[in-house]
Structure 1
Amino acid sequence: MQSGHILNISCYLFVSLPDTAALRDRLEARALALALKGTVLIAEEGINLFLAGPAEAVNAWVAELRADARFATLTPKESWSEVQPFQRLKVKVKPEIIRMNRPTVRPDQAPRAPALAPATLARWLDQGHDDDGREVVMLDTRNGFEVDQGAFDGAVDWRLDKFSDFPDALAAHRDELEGKTVVSYCTGGIRCEKAAMLLEEQGLITWQLDGGILKYFEDTGGKHYHGNCFVFDDRRGVNADLSPT
């Protein structure tokens, strides 16, 4: 249900982008012309963005982005707010759109790790196991302070200070996950997608929650999740109905 007149979008896409500088200039110029605010990160591995503004302006920017065939499949997650949650516009080129410091983990150059639909996850959590009868472990790939605002019931939390800590934490706890179905999750899907690739490298039975917590809220209403979902803008968090806390 729409609540407010500012449309907030978030999405990412792992896709090879050799023209990062030119792409940055083009996307920034169009966002400025439309008076949008937020953050757009571009790297050779893809794009990660959080933008907000009047719906007509946001949709126009997304439509132009999708006109580039590389971004045709981009599907932003939407929520609404009464006020603009960003102070300014930042469009930056980075080495990674989400930093893991593992050069061998390149989602834009490898098959995607298996993605689990929110409705399927809710069913697994309802029945207490996956469809093969294995225990389901929810692995939170977010920072500890985000987990403190809300998480899946019984989720594994390694108290990460930053996402680049994840590989070392996995090395320390890998054996605890052996023989279980591990579902990695994060806010919108980008961190748990990279994490799932690393979990697969370790020979674990792995899924990533498709669309992250925000998509899970949208599709299921947040069952088996307690608390709010932290977001990196002035809203600070959203409820299961995607309204600001």
Structure 2
Amino acid sequence: MIKYQTLLYYCYSRIEDAEQFASDHLKFCKSLNLVGRIIVADEGLNGTVSGTVESCKIYMDAVHADPRFAKTDFKIDDVEEPSFIKMHCRYKAEIVHSGLRDPRIINPEEKTGIHLAPADFVKLKDEEDVVIVDVRSNYEHSIGRFKNAITFDIENFRDFPSMINELAQYKDKKIITYCTGGIKCEKASALLLHEGFENVYQLHGGIIKYGKEAGGEDFEGKCYVFDNRVAVDVNSVNPVVISTCRNCGTHTTKMINCANPECNEHFTQCDACGERLEGACSEECMAHPRKRVYDGTGYYVKVPQPVNTEKLKLSKV
């Protein structure tokens, strides 16, 4: 019997007094005993929340009952346990950090690439005049990506605009962007249109929806997700593993954070190397005096750091 679910969603819709909304929304989520991470901005919502099936239904019904978010598309995963430890709901400048904040240039509510349903993506993805573009960060596509997709060596989505020139050679092609759940593509496809690309599409609902509705065909590896699960299966048609252990080169889908908190690098590591290096990315990090205890997961709860009083004094001088 399914006991818990995890919901992935976003909605671009103007929120007046978004800071107060974030505070009120946090209280509402806590009243349902949900855990997760929600970003609230003037431009809308971006969240992943997890809880009991009953709580998740109440939450989705409440979001859909608000006219501003009635069009929200929830991607629902059945999970054995909640995918987060705590509940966070924070106000930020954007619901996905892109640096593209001028609504006169980029406004997903008004103009984006054509949304392709998973079934339509399947029909188009192998055509000769189609170029598939992954707009996610390097650590995300290192563990899984579409076959033949163009990827960029970027650490954050805010670096994507600087990569546009690399796509100039494909201006006469059909460009299809994709990401985890679709949110990054809203701005990425809008930016491409602004830069003069004419045939721009985006995979509606992202990799997650594609896996659920189209079996994930030709998505190689796993899909990185921003919760305790780290990565999830997508392809039930022709699955392969493409990621390798940083230390020995063995194929593995296990992604962890380095046990040295001053490094904290996100990387793939097999269980054997994890045991040998105690969850560190190198022998140097394994020997670090602040190395965290490795429990086999490579996932560490953030612990508040003590205030650096000396730095505060200097900043006031």
TM-score (norm 1): 0.91
Match of 1:207 in 2: 201
Match of 1:110 in 2: 110
Match of 1:12 in 2: 10
Which of 62-71 and 161-170 deviates more?
62-71
Shift of 1:74: 1.3
| Secondary structure of the structure 2 residue equivalent to 1:51 | strand
Which of 87-96 and 111-120 deviates more?
111-120
Match of 1:124 in 2: 124
Structure 2 residue 84 is matched with structure 1 residue 90: no
CA distance in 2, matches of 1:32, 1:120: 39
| Secondary structure of the structure 2 residue equivalent to 1:192 | helix
| Secondary structure of the structure 1 residue equivalent to 2:216 | coil
Which of 24-33 and 187-196 deviates more?
24-33
Q: Which runs of 5+ in 1 are unaligned?
A: none
Match of 2:239 in 1: none
Runs ≥4 residues deviating over 3 A: none
Does structure 1 retain, via aligned residues, the 8 Å contact 2:111–2:190?
no
For residues 57-206 of structure 1, what are the structure 2 equivalents within 5 Å?
A: 57-104=55-102, 105-125=105-125, 128-129=126-127, 135-170=129-164, 172-204=165-197, 205-206=199-200
Does structure 1 retain, via aligned residues, the 8 Å contact 2:223–2:232?
yes
Which of 49-58 and 13-22 deviates more?
13-22
| Secondary structure of the structure 1 residue equivalent to 2:73 | coil
Structure 2 residue 229 is matched with structure 1 residue 231: no
Who wins on radius of gyration, i.e. which is larger?
A: 2
CA distance in 2, matches of 1:75, 1:110: 18
Q: Which runs of 5+ in 2 are unaligned?
A: 237-252, 255-317
Deviations along 1:52-94, one digit per CA (max 9) or x if unpaired, are: 0001011112212222111111121000111111011000000
Match of 1:218 in 2: 212
Does structure 1 retain, via aligned residues, the 8 Å contact 2:180–2:223?
yes
Q: Which amino acid aligns with 1:112?
A: T
**Taking CA–CA contacts closer than 8 Å with sequence separation of 6 or more, which of the two structures ends up with the larger relative contact order?**
1
Shift of 1:241: 6.4
RMSD: 1.8
Does structure 1 retain, via aligned residues, the 8 Å contact 2:10–2:47?
yes
For residues 30-41 of structure 1, what are the structure 2 equivalents within 5 Å?
A: 30-41=28-39
CA distance in 1, matches of 2:183, 2:7: 14
Does structure 2 retain, via aligned residues, the 8 Å contact 1:45–1:108?
no
Deviations along 1:104-127, one digit per CA (max 9) or x if unpaired, are: 3543552333111111111123xx
CA distance in 2, matches of 1:77, 1:201: 29
Q: Identity over the aligned pairs, expressed in percent?
A: 29
Larger fraction in strand: 1
CA distance in 2, matches of 1:20, 1:113: 27
Deviations along 1:178-219, one digit per CA (max 9) or x if unpaired, are: 211110000000001110000111121210110000011111
CA distance in 2, matches of 1:228, 1:116: 21
CA distance in 2, matches of 1:124, 1:32: 43
| Secondary structure of the structure 2 residue equivalent to 1:157 | coil
Does structure 2 retain, via aligned residues, the 8 Å contact 1:122–1:224?
no
Deviations along 1:113-145, one digit per CA (max 9) or x if unpaired, are: 3111111111123xx31xxxx511110000011
Residue correspondences, number:
235
| Secondary structure of the structure 1 residue equivalent to 2:72 | coil
Which of 203-212 and 88-97 deviates more?
203-212
Which of 213-222 and 102-111 deviates more?
102-111
CA distance in 2, matches of 1:31, 1:44: 19
